[in-house]
Structure 1
Amino acid sequence: MTPAQIRLRFAGGLRFFLAARHRRSGAAYVPYDGTSTLGHVVQSLGVPLTEVGPLTVHGPREEGAGRQVDPAYRPQEAETADVGVAPRPQSVEGPWPPRFLLDVHLGALARRLRLVGLDAAYGNDASDDRLVAHADDERRLLLTQDRGLLLRRALWLGAYVRGARPDAQLLDVLDRFAPPLTPWTRCMACNGTLEAVEKAEVEPLLPPGTRRTYDTFMRCRSCARLYWRGAHSGRLESLVERAYEAAASRPPGAPDPSHGTEPA
C-alpha cells in the first residue's frame, strides 16, 4: 500500500533551506502520518517557521486560490501546501523599536546595527542555550545564520540573516524589519547609549593630534568610550547614508524611519 503523502511547494526565497534535491523545483512530496501539524512538516524539511509567511492549502480536487491556514493546521492526505516567505517589512510583536540579539558569528553586523542606533546585544562566547535564554528573557529578536537555532521550539522569535558580508547583512535586517534609525546614538563597542561631553572634561584623555583637531565629542554612558568624527567617519557616514537610502526605498505603506539627530 502506498503511504499517505502531502506535497509542499516553497516560495523562491525559501528554497536555499531545502535539501539539494528539492531546491530547483521548490517542491517536495512528504510521507504524512495524519497527525503532524503543517508547521512541523515544514520544519522537518529544514525551513524555520521564522522565515515562513502565508500558508495556503489546496485539496486534490480544489481549484482556485486555496485556503489560508496557520502552522497548527493538520493536512489531509494528498493536499498541497504552498509555503510563502515572510513578508517585508515584517511586523514584530513585543518591544518597539525591536531589540536584537546576535549570535557569535555576527559581531560585525552588531556594530553596524549600533551605528544606526539600534539596540543590538552581542557576545562572542555565548552558547546556543544561553542565546535562546537571553533572547527569551529580554524579548530580543535573535539574528543568526544558524537555522538550527531558529528551529528550537524554546526560541520566542528569530530571523535568518541573508548576505555574506556585514554591509549586505545590515541592509537585509533594515529591509525586513523597517526599524527607526537614530544614528550616532549608541556605542559600537558595548551597545550603551551616547551622550555629548564637553571637550574640557575629556581633554586629558585625548591623543595630542585629536586634542588639536577636534572639538565635539560623545561618551558612552556604560563603558565611557569616547567618540569623535575622525578620519574613519567618512566610511561610517557612508554606511549610515546607505541605510537611509534603503529605508527611503521601501514601498508605499511601509513604516517610515524616524531620522535621529546627529551630534553637533
Structure 2
Amino acid sequence: MNAHPGSAEITVQVAPGLALFVPHKRRGGATGLKVDGTSSLGHVVESLGVPLTEVGSLVVGGRDVDVSYVPRGGESVEVRGVVRPQDVPGAPLRFLLDVHLGTLARRMRVLGVDTAYEAVDIGDPALATRSAAERRVLLSRDRGLLRRREPWAGAYVYSDRPDEQLRDVLDRFAPRLRPWTRCTACNGTLRAATRDEVADRLEDGTQRSYDVFAQCADCGNVYWRGAHHSQLERMVADALAEFGPDGAARTTTGTEPLPHD
C-alpha cells in the first residue's frame, strides 16, 4: 500500500500457517508496514496478500480488534489463523466450490455434505453472488475470489491434492457426515430403489449383476455398488474413522491447515 504524507509504521506478525500468502521478502518474522491513519486493519492485512477468510483474529496490544480497526503508528499487530473447527453461524453448513475443485466436490457429496458445484466456469461475480444468496461457504484456491466482499463466507483450499483437500475441509469445518445420501452429479438426495423402478435406466448386464440400487430424487441418476465402490468405501471409512459422523475431529489440529503428506 502507498504511504500518504506523514504516514507512520506498524509491525505485523503473521501466523506461520498464513505465511504462504505473504511475499517471500516479508516472511520469517515481523514486518514493518506503512499506515496512513485512515485505512482499516483489514485492508492492511489484505495488502500483505492474506485473504480475510483465513484470519481468525487480529490482536493489537494484547486485545482483539475488528477488521475495521484503524491502526496507529508504533502499534504491533498479530494476524492469527482460524481456530479449528471453525464456527460458521447463522445457517445450515453448506458449501459452494469453484470449477477447479470437481474431485473434492464429488468426494464431499459421497460423504453426504451439501456441496454445490458447477462443472463450467460461471465467473467470480456469479460464484460470489450465489454464495451470498444461498448462504454457502465458498471454497476456492483463487485468492482474488476470496477477497471479494459479496460471499457469505469463504475459505482457501490449501492443497492441490484431493485427499489433502478433503481432510483439510473436514478438519476445518467439521460438517456432519451422512455417506451415500447425496447424488455425486447434482447434489440431490438419494432414495433406495428397486431394480424394477430403475430398469429403464440400466443396461442388461447391470440389471443381472446387481440387486441394490439408489436413485437421485432430483435428477434421476441411478447408483449401485459397481467396480469403483470399494475405493469409495475406503474413503468413507477413513473419513468416519478420523472425524466421526458428526464431523468432530478426533485429533487436535490447532489453528494451522493440515500438513501435506
Measure how far apart 1:3 and its partner are. 4.3
- Over aligned residues, Cα RMSD in angstroms? 1.7
Percent identity between the two aligned chains: 53
Structure 2: distance between partners of 1:143 and 1:250: 23
Matches within 5 A, 1:124-203: 124-203=120-199
Measure how far apart 1:26 and its partner are. 4.1
**One-letter code of the match for 2:177?**
L
Q: Which residue of 2 aligns with 1:14?
A: 18
**One-letter code of the match for 1:10?**
V
Q: Which residue of 2 aligns with 1:62?
A: none
TM-score relative to the length of structure 2: 0.89
Q: Which residue of 1 aligns with 2:209?
A: 213
Structure 2: state its 5+ residue gaps: 255-261
The one-character-per-residue Cα deviations of 1:62-92 (angstroms, maximum 9, x if unpaired) are xxxx222221222221111011001100000
Measure how far apart 1:251 and its partner are. 4.4
Q: In 2 relative to 1, CA 84–210 (structure 1 residues): closer, same or farther, beyond 3 Å?
A: same
Structure 2: distance between partners of 1:178 and 1:105: 22
Measure how far apart 1:16 and its partner are. 0.1
**One-letter code of the match for 1:243?**
A
Q: Which residue of 2 aligns with 1:260?
A: none
Please point out which of 112, 120, 125 is paired with 1:117.
112
Is the Cα–Cα contact under 8 Å of residues 175 and 250 in structure 1 kept in the other structure? no
**One-letter code of the match for 1:105?**
H
The one-character-per-residue Cα deviations of 1:183-227 (angstroms, maximum 9, x if unpaired) are 100000111110111112222432232222211100011111100
Q: In 2 relative to 1, CA 5–126 (structure 1 residues): closer, same or farther, beyond 3 Å?
A: same
Q: In 2 relative to 1, CA 46–196 (structure 1 residues): closer, same or farther, beyond 3 Å?
A: same
Structure 1: state its 5+ residue gaps: 59-65, 255-264
Structure 2: distance between partners of 1:188 and 1:84: 35
Is the Cα–Cα contact under 8 Å of residues 11 and 26 in structure 1 kept in the other structure? no
Count of matched residue pairs:
244
Structure 1: distance between partners of 2:235 and 2:183: 16
For the residue of structure 2 that corresponds to 1:179, the secondary structure is coil
Structure 1: distance between partners of 2:29 and 2:151: 26
TM-score relative to the length of structure 1: 0.88
Measure how far apart 1:136 and its partner are. 0.6
Q: Which residue of 1 aligns with 2:47?
A: 44
For the residue of structure 2 that corresponds to 1:5, the secondary structure is strand
Is the Cα–Cα contact under 8 Å of residues 174 and 246 in structure 1 kept in the other structure? no
Measure how far apart 1:2 and its partner are. 7.8
**One-letter code of the match for 1:38?**
L
Is the Cα–Cα contact under 8 Å of residues 15 and 26 in structure 1 kept in the other structure? no
Q: In 2 relative to 1, CA 146–211 (structure 1 residues): closer, same or farther, beyond 3 Å?
A: same
For the residue of structure 2 that corresponds to 1:114, the secondary structure is helix
Please point out which of 225, 230, 252 is paired with 1:234.
230
For the residue of structure 2 that corresponds to 1:219, the secondary structure is strand
Q: In 2 relative to 1, CA 201–154 (structure 1 residues): closer, same or farther, beyond 3 Å?
A: closer
